[in-house]
Structure 1
C-alpha cells in the first residue's frame, strides 16, 4: 500500500476523456493541440497524440524541452506564450527547432524583432497572440496585422493568430460568452493579417470550458488542457461530472469530530487555488455533497452535511479521494502520478515537465 497523500490517476477515465474530446474535435473539423502544462506527463501526451492530436501546446521552453526529449513523444510543439527571448533562451529555441517542429508566439512588434534577432535562421512558425477578452497578454485584434507585418519584416514566418479565452472560467454563461468573443477576435485578427499579405492558416483558441462551443469556420484548432484529468473547477463550471474526474489525491483521515473530518492532503499536494465562485478548496470524489472548508499545508478540513448517516462518515484511518480545484498546479507538486488500471495494476508515470518554468 502506498503512503498517503499521493495523486492517483484512473487510467480508464483518462482514456475516455482523451477519446471523447478527440472525437468532438474531429466531428467539428478542428485540429486538437492539447495543452500539456496540465499533466506534464509523457505517457498522457503519448495517449493524446495516439488519439489524433496534431501536436502539443506548452507554456515554457522548459516544458517544450521535456516533451521534445521524452521518448516516445517528440511532438509538434507550440509554446503558447509571448516569450521575451533574452539570456540563453535563443540558444534553447534554436536547439529545439533543430529536432522538432516548433511554433512560437509574439504579441508586439518589439517582441517579434527580439525573437528574430535571437533565433537567427531557426526553422520556426510564428503566430500572433490577440486578446479576446481576458486582458492578460495579446494585442487587440485590430492591431494584429501590424505585429504580423513587423514579424515578417524581421524575417519570421507568420502563419496565423491565436488567443486564449481564459475568462471563460466563470459561472453561468461565461464559457459561452468567452467563446463568442474568441470567434469575433480571431475573425478580426485574421482579416488584419490578410490586409498585410499574410494568410492566417492557423486560427487557434479554445479551453476546456469553451470547447463545447467551438466550431470550425473561424477556428482551425483548439488547445484545451484540463480535459484528460478534469478537476473540481470543471465540475462546478459544468464542464464535467464526478464520473469524468480521472485524477484525485488519495488522503487518509487523521481526525474526526462530529461532521468534520481532517485528511492529510493539504495545499502542498492539492494546490491552494480557490476562485471566488467555487464552493470550497476542492471536492471529495467519495462524498459529492461534502465541502472542503479550509486548507493548511498538510491538512484539509472537510465538512459533511448534517443529514449524513453516521455509517457514511469516515473514521480515522479511512482513505478518501480528494479532487483538487486546479489540477494543473496539483500535478506540478509531485514527481509522479500513480496510474491505476481497471484490472488493479498500478504504474508510476513520471511528471517529466515538473518545475520546467523557464
Structure 2
C-alpha cells in the first residue's frame, strides 16, 4: 500500500494528509465478475472488471432489473458541492453510508472533502481498510469491540483522525469504562451531540449537553473535540414551520459551541458539525460564521453526489432549477415489461429488492422499444414487480420486452440493494456505454 492519494488537509490541521489508499481502491478493478453480481451479463463472467471495461460494453448487454449511475452527472454534482462548500468556508465530510462505495469516496476526497462520515463501527473499519485518514462516526460508539478498535487504530497511526459522538453522561461513562478496562492512549475524540424535541438521538437540552461535555472533559481517555447534530430529524419539508424548526435548532447548536469555547472546555482545535442533504444552506447560514483558526465547521451531506428524482430533488436548495445547473439525479432504474395482463397495466421485472420506495415510488421517464403514454405512473412495488398504470394506453404503446427507465427517490436505500453498479456515460444517450463498475459494501 505505497501509492497514496494525498490532498491538502482542509480545516483544523492545515497539513498534507493521506486521504485514501489508491492501491487498495485500484485493486477492485482486478476482481472477477460472475453470477454473484446481480444483472451482470454472462458474457462478462470470469473476466476482471478491467478486462470487461476494455471491451467498451453497452448498457443493452446487461440484464434487467438494473440500477445505473450517470458519469457526467456524478462529476457535475461532485464539483458543484466542492465549489459551494469551499466558497461558503465550510468543510465537507460526505456521509459515506449513502453509497458505501470506496471508489466514490475517493472521488469526493480528491475533490477536496475534509473526511468521510459513517454511522457504524464496521463502516468505519471498512473505510479505514481503504486508507481513509479522517473519519467522523456520526453516532455514539459504545460497542466495546468497535471502541477498542478505534483507540487501537489511533494509537497505531498518529496521523489517523477519528471522531465519534456522545449524547448522555451515561454514554460517556460507559465509553470511559470500556477504554479503562481494555485500551490505553491515545484519547478518543468525542463530540457532544445536541438533539431536539421529537428528534432522533442527541441531548434534548443545552444544559444536558453541557453536562455531557463536562463528563467528556473529566475523562482521562476521551477528548472533547466539539459539538454535533443532525437538523434533518426535526423537519421533512420546506414549510415556514419546518425552516423555523431547523434554524432554531442550529442556533442552539451554535450557542452550545460558543459556551464551551468561552469556558475553555476545548483543550485544542474544535469542530462544529451538522447538515444532511436537505438543508445545507441553513447550516451554512447559521454556522459558517463560527469558523476560525481554532474551529472547523463540517457539513455532512451524503445524498448530493447521486441526488435523486424524488425527495431530495424536491427539497434540496442546490437542485436544478433553483441553482443553475444544479444537482441532477445520477441514478436510474431500468426494468423490462414482462406482462400486460390488462389494457392499462404493465408489470415490470424490478421491485422492492431492486429500487428504493421509502421516500416515494419510482417515476417512469422514458422507454426503449416502446412509447411512454401520458399519465403513466407507478402505483405499487412488490418484491420483484413494479405496477405501472397506463391510462388510455394500448398494448402496442408499451409492449412486452420494452425497457422503462425509472427516476428514483432516496439514494440511501438504492445502493444497499446492489453490490455492483454500472456507471454509464449518460443516461440520456441513445445507446449508453458502460464506463465503470462501482463496488459497494453493505
TM-score range, shorter chain: 0.7 to 0.9
CA spacing shift, 1:152–1:299, aligned 2, 3 Å: same
Question: How far 1:303 sits from its partner (Å)?
Answer: 2.5
Question: How far 1:208 sits from its partner (Å)?
Answer: 0.7
1:299 aligns with 2:385: yes
Matching of residues 41-80 of structure 1 within 5 Å: 41-70=101-130, 73-80=131-138
Q: Which has the larger radius of gyration?
A: 2
Structure 2: unaligned runs, 5 residues or longer: 1-60, 292-296, 322-326, 367-371, 427-431
2:379–2:388 CA contact under 8 A, matched in 1: yes
Per-residue deviation, residues 147-170 of structure 1 (Å, max 9, x unmatched) = 011011112111210110123432
1:81 aligns with 2:139: yes
The residue that corresponds to 1:277 in the other structure is none
1:24 aligns with 2:84: yes
Distance 1:238 1:96 in 2: 36
Question: Is 151-160 or 36-45 further displaced after alignment?
Answer: 151-160
Per-residue deviation, residues 120-179 of structure 1 (Å, max 9, x unmatched) = 423432111101455210002332221011011112111210110123432534663344
Distance 1:316 1:122 in 2: 63
Question: Is 45-54 or 210-219 further displaced after alignment?
Answer: 210-219
Question: How far 1:347 sits from its partner (Å)?
Answer: 2.2
Structure 1: unaligned runs, 5 residues or longer: 275-279
Q: TM-score, normalised by structure 1?
A: 0.87
The residue that corresponds to 1:271 in the other structure is 356
Q: Secondary structure at the match of 1:297?
A: coil
Q: TM-score, normalised by structure 2?
A: 0.71
Instruction: Specify which of 224, 232, 251 is matched with residue 158 of structure 1.
Output: 224
The residue that corresponds to 2:4 in the other structure is none
1:346 aligns with 2:435: yes
Matching of residues 188-267 of structure 1 within 5 Å: 188-194=255-261, 196-199=263-266, 201-215=270-284, 216-218=288-290, 220-231=297-308, 232-237=310-315, 239=317, 240=319, 244-256=328-340, 257-267=342-352
Q: Secondary structure at the match of 1:244?
A: coil
Per-residue deviation, residues 194-250 of structure 1 (Å, max 9, x unmatched) = 365324821111111101333211471210111111122112335535971101222
Distance 2:437 2:276 in 1: 28
Q: Secondary structure at the match of 2:139?
A: coil
Q: How many residues align?
A: 343
The residue that corresponds to 1:94 in the other structure is 151
The residue that corresponds to 1:126 in the other structure is 190
CA spacing shift, 1:210–1:157, aligned 2, 3 Å: same
CA spacing shift, 1:327–1:159, aligned 2, 3 Å: same
2:343–2:394 CA contact under 8 A, matched in 1: no
CA spacing shift, 1:24–1:134, aligned 2, 3 Å: farther
Instruction: Specify which of 141, 146, 160 is matched with residue 211 of structure 2.
Output: 146
Per-residue deviation, residues 28-64 of structure 1 (Å, max 9, x unmatched) = 1111111011011011101111111100100011111
Question: Is 163-172 or 40-49 further displaced after alignment?
Answer: 163-172
Aligned-residue Cα RMSD (Å) equals 2.6
2:141–2:147 CA contact under 8 A, matched in 1: no
The residue that corresponds to 2:23 in the other structure is none
The residue that corresponds to 2:243 in the other structure is 176
CA spacing shift, 1:157–1:227, aligned 2, 3 Å: same
Question: Is 242-251 or 222-231 further displaced after alignment?
Answer: 242-251
1:182–1:205 CA contact under 8 A, matched in 2: no
Question: How far 1:65 sits from its partner (Å)?
Answer: 1.1
Question: How far 1:103 sits from its partner (Å)?
Answer: 0.7
1:15 aligns with 2:75: yes
